[in-house]
């Protein structure tokens, strides 16, 4: 059991939240139009810029990542959006683009496959699109798409806006936003940042702001120009979740105390360990070479009763996820992002082995 007396979360969001972070949430709020608030705001922005290797503007938003999906497309699409789809979340970004009334096409690959440079190149070469959306880590299939290779292709298309969902990779994997030329990088905080849900982060390029000025019908809450006006004063347009900001401040301190390099290495080591376990006991769902560094999607090659497996683990104080949508019964997912440590994973894997033996 967790410190809270609740099962420890090994699901890909919300992820495990450490006690120190929970405690930071209880700090007495400051007024959001005060100097103390702006000091807190600036502290967070400079920390996030370091984690994302960017000088781009950072917006702190009181919403989940789904809100920022809408923000990203509403502030950029004028011609047509290419939504690259490799699973449930990338598919939902496409749905949200269409539901915002914007012209868009979904460009699909099979579940378990990655979105590769050739597909992006061929799609953008049609000249039909001024925006593309790319989900770095497809949480439903456990595929980590080759962001660096795609960024190389994007250099051929400087007029196409490059919007990236890093919901389940931000802060866990090294992503150099400026080097990669990413126009909008977005994530909610209940994944790799390991905070409770309800808050999101995005970095936005100057190019995006220029385009946003030419976009109509952006609404108020997610208009980047409105967010930008307030960001320049180190404020948010409306009252933000100040407890999240205290939590994020504490988390950034912890991230820099661990060291970014060590943090990225820890995630890579955890992924190696879980993948080795999965390959030894069953199989991996994602195509070879594109397995996520933050969660492992195990293919149920032995045909175990996954619901029973999950229930037994839950009873012992560990929560893992089943397969998402059409992958229910076929896969299960183990998250190893955020504040999950080596000892946590070793303990989980050993309990999973013990539980599989009981089920035999």
Contacts of 218 (CB under 8 A, 6+ apart): 74, 75, 212, 224, 225
Q: Does 241 bind ligand PLP (CB under 6 A)?
A: no
From 39-47, 48-56, 58-66, 154-162, span contacting ligand PLP (CB under 6 A): 58-66
Distance between CA atoms of 299 and 358, rounded to whole angstroms? 20
Between 74 and 312, whose beta carbon lies closer to ligand PLP? Answer: 74
Kindly state whether residue 171 participates in binding ligand PLP, applying the rule CB under 6 A.
no
Structure tokens at 32: 């959001």
Q: Which of 43, 49, 62, 66 binds ligand PLP (CB under 6 A)?
A: 66
Select 188 or 331, whichever has its Cβ closest to ligand PLP.
188
Count of H-run helices and E-run strands, the chain = 13, 15
Is 65 a binding residue for ligand PLP by CB under 6 A? The answer is yes
In the complex, least distance from residue 61 CB atom to ligand PLP, rounded to whole angstroms: 11
Please report the sign of the dihedral spanned by the C-alpha atoms of residue 166, residue 172, residue 177, residue 181. Answer: negative
What DSSP element (H or E) covers 278?
Answer: helix 260-281
Q: Which stretch binds ligand PLP (CB under 6 A): 49-57, 151-159, 162-170, 243-251?
A: 162-170
How, if at all, do strands 184-188 and 137-138 pair? Answer: unpaired
From the number of C-beta atoms within 10 Å of its C-beta (0-12, 13-18, 19+), residue 258 rates as middle
In three-state secondary structure terms, 220 is coil
- Select from 139, 145, 241, 310 the one that contacts ligand PLP (CB under 6 A): 139
* 113 touches ligand PLP by CB under 6 A: no
From the list 146-154, 163-171, 252-260, 314-322, the region that binds ligand PLP by CB under 6 A is 163-171
Least Å distance, CB 87 to ligand PLP, is: 8
In the stretch 5-34, what mask flags binding to ligand PLP with x, by CB under 6 A?
A: --------x---------------------
Distance CA 73, CA 217 (A): 11
Q: Which residues bind ligand PLP (CB under 6 A)?
A: 13, 64-66, 89, 135, 139, 165, 167-168, 188
């Amino acid at each position: 059991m967790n410190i809270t007396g609740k099962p420890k979360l090994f699901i890909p969001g919300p992820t495990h939240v450490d006690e120190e972070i929970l405690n930071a949430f209880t700090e007495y709020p400051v007024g959001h139009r005060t100097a103390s608030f702006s000091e807190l705001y600036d502290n967070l922005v400079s920390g996030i810029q370091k984690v994302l290797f960017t000088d781009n503007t950072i917006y702190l938003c009181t919403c989940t990542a789904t809100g920022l999906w809408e923000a990203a497309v509403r502030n950029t699409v004028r011609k047509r959006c290419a939504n690259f789809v490799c699973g449930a979340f990338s598919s939902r970004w496409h749905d949200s683009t269409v539901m915002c009334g914007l012209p868009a096409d979904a460009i699909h690959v099979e579940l378990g496959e990655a979105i590769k440079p050739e597909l992006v190149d061929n799609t953008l070469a049609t000249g039909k699109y001024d925006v593309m959306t790319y989900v770095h880590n497809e949480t439903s299939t456990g595929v980590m798409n080759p962001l660096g290779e795609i960024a190389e292709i994007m250099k051929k298309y400087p007029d196409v806006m490059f919007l990236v969902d890093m919901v389940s990779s931000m802060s866990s994997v090294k992503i150099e936003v400026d080097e990669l030329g990413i126009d909008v990088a977005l994530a909610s905080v209940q994944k790799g940042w390991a905070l409770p849900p309800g808050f999101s982060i995005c970095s936005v390029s100057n190019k995006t702001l220029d385009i946003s000025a030419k976009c109509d019908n952006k609404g108020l809450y997610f208009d980047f120009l409105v967010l930008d006006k307030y960001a320049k004063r180190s404020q948010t347009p409306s009252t933000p979740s100040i407890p999240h900001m205290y939590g994020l401040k504490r988390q950034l301190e912890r991230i820099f105390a661990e060291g970014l390099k060590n943090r990225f290495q820890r995630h890579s080591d955890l992924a190696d360990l879980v993948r080795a376990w999965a390959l030894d006991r069953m199989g991996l769902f994602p195509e070879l070479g594109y397995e996520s560094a933050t969660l492992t999607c195990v293919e149920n090659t032995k045909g175990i009763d996954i619901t029973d497996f999950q229930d037994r683990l839950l009873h012992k104080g560990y929560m893992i996820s089943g397969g998402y949508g059409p992958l229910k019964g076929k896969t299960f997912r183990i998250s190893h992002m955020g504040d999950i440590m080596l000892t946590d994973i070793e303990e989980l894997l050993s309990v999973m082995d013990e539980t599989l033996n009981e089920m035999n």
